[in-house]
Amino acid sequence: MSNEQHYRALEAMYQAAPLNKFYLPEMTVEEGTAEITIDIDSKLFHSGGAAHGSVYFKELDDAAFFAVNSLEPEVFVLTTSFTTYITRPISRGQMIAKGRVVNRNRSQWIAESVAYDSDGREIARGNGIFVRSKMLLAETLGYKEYLKQNMSV
Q: CATH no. for residue 132?
A: 3.10.129.10
79 with 65: CB under 8 angstroms? yes
Residue 118 lies in a domain: yes
Counted domains in the chain: 1
Contact residues for 38 (Cβ-Cβ < 8 A; gap 6+)? 23, 24, 25, 44, 55, 59, 94, 95
Query: Which pLDDT value is given to residue 152?
Result: 62
CA 110 to CA 106: how far, in whole Å? Answer: 12
Q: Give the closest residue to 56 by CA, choosing from 88, 21, 29, 101.
A: 88
* Rg of the chain, C-alpha, whole Å: 15
Q: What is the pTM of this model?
A: 0.95
Residue 110 lies in a domain: yes
DSSP labels, 42-58:
GGGB-TTSSB-HHHHHH
Residue 149 lies in a domain: no
pLDDT at 28 over 60: yes
Residue 148 lies in a domain: no
Query: Which pLDDT value is given to residue 151?
Result: 78
The sign of the torsion formed by the CA atoms of 147, 148, 152, 153 equals positive
Residue 41 lies in a domain: yes
Q: Give the closest residue to 61 by CA, choosing from 13, 130, 144, 121.
A: 130
Residue 108 lies in a domain: yes
Residue 152 lies in a domain: no
> 111-122 pLDDT, tens per residue?
999 999 999 999
Q: Give the structural domain span for 121.
A: 3-142
Q: How confident is the model at residue 64 (pLDDT cuts 50, 70, 90)?
A: very high
Query: Which pLDDT value is given to residue 25?
Result: 97
Alpha carbon 53 to chain centroid distance?
16
Residue 29 lies in a domain: yes
